[in-house]
Structure 1
Amino acid sequence: MNRKFQTSNFKLFIYISLFLLILAGQAFADLTVDANHSHIKIDFFYHGSTMSVRGTSDPGVDLIIKLSSPEGHETLKQKGKVAGVLWMNVGTLNIEDVPGVYFLHSTKRIEDILNAEEMQKYVIGYAALAKHIRINPIANNEDKDRWFKEFVKFKENSKLYSTSTGKISFTEKDGKGSYYILTDWPYQVPPGIYTVTVYAVKDRHVVETAQTNIMVEQVGIVRTLASMAKNNGAVYGIISIVVALIAGFGVGIIFRKGGGAH
Structure 2
Amino acid sequence: MIWAQAIALLCLIEAVPSHGVRLTPTSIQVGALYQDVPVRVEAVAQPGSQMLVVLRGADTKETFNKKGRVGPVWLNVGKVHISGVPSLFLSFSAAPVQSILSREEIDRYQLDEAAIRRQMRIEPAEFDQPELRSHYWSLKAEQRSYSVQTGALKAEAAGETGVSWRVEFLWPRKAQPGSYMLTAYECRQGRVIRQSTATLTVTRVGLPVAVAALAQQRPAQYAGLAVITAMIAGFGIDFVVSRLGGKRRKLRAAHGAGEAEPEREPTGSRRRGGH
TM-score by length of structure 1 reads 0.80
Q: Of 49, 58, 64, which aligns to 2:37?
A: 49
Q: Is the 8 A contact 2:94 2:152 kept in 1?
A: yes
C-alpha offsets along residues 72-106 of structure 1, whole Å, 9 cap, x if unaligned?
322343333222x3233323222232112111121
Deviation, 1:35, is 2.0
Deviation, 1:111, is 0.9
Q: Is the 8 A contact 2:47 2:158 kept in 1?
A: no
Deviation, 1:139, is 4.8
Q: Of 107, 113, 116, which aligns to 1:129?
A: 116
- The letter for the 1-side match of 2:83 is E
Residue aligned with 2:125, SS: coil
Q: Provide runs of 4+ in structure 1 moved above 6 Å.
A: none
Q: Is the 8 A contact 2:82 2:122 kept in 1?
A: yes
- Partner residue of 1:13? none
Measured in 1, the distance between the counterparts of 2:41 and 2:236 equals 45
Q: Is the 8 A contact 2:181 2:197 kept in 1?
A: yes
- Partner residue of 2:106? 119
Q: Is the 8 A contact 1:30 1:58 kept in 2?
A: no
- The letter for the 2-side match of 1:120 is D
Percent of aligned pairs sharing the same letter: 26
- Partner residue of 1:110? 97
- Partner residue of 2:220? 234
- Partner residue of 1:90? 77
Measured in 1, the distance between the counterparts of 2:88 and 2:180 equals 8
Q: Is the 8 A contact 2:106 2:115 kept in 1?
A: yes
- The letter for the 1-side match of 2:46 is D
- The letter for the 2-side match of 1:61 is S
Deviation, 1:203, is 0.4
Q: Of 129, 132, 135, which aligns to 1:147?
A: 132
Change (3 A) 1:116 1:229: same
Q: How many residues matched?
A: 231
Identify unmatched segments of 5+ residues in structure 1: 1-28
Deviation, 1:146, is 2.6
- Partner residue of 1:10? none
Q: Is the 8 A contact 2:82 2:121 kept in 1?
A: yes
Deviation, 1:138, is 2.9
Change (3 A) 1:103 1:174: closer
> Highest CA radius of gyration, 1 or 2?
2
Deviation, 1:112, is 0.9
Identify unmatched segments of 5+ residues in structure 2: 1-16, 249-275
Q: Is the 8 A contact 1:48 1:188 kept in 2?
A: no
Measured in 2, the distance between the counterparts of 1:79 and 1:48 equals 35
Deviation, 1:124, is 0.9
Change (3 A) 1:201 1:173: closer
Measured in 1, the distance between the counterparts of 2:38 and 2:76 equals 36
- Say whether 1:180 aligns with 2:166: yes
Deviation, 1:127, is 1.4
- Partner residue of 1:211? 197
Measured in 1, the distance between the counterparts of 2:173 and 2:184 equals 23
- Partner residue of 1:33? 21
- The letter for the 2-side match of 1:37 is P
- Partner residue of 1:69? 57
Measured in 2, the distance between the counterparts of 1:89 and 1:155 equals 22
Change (3 A) 1:174 1:193: closer
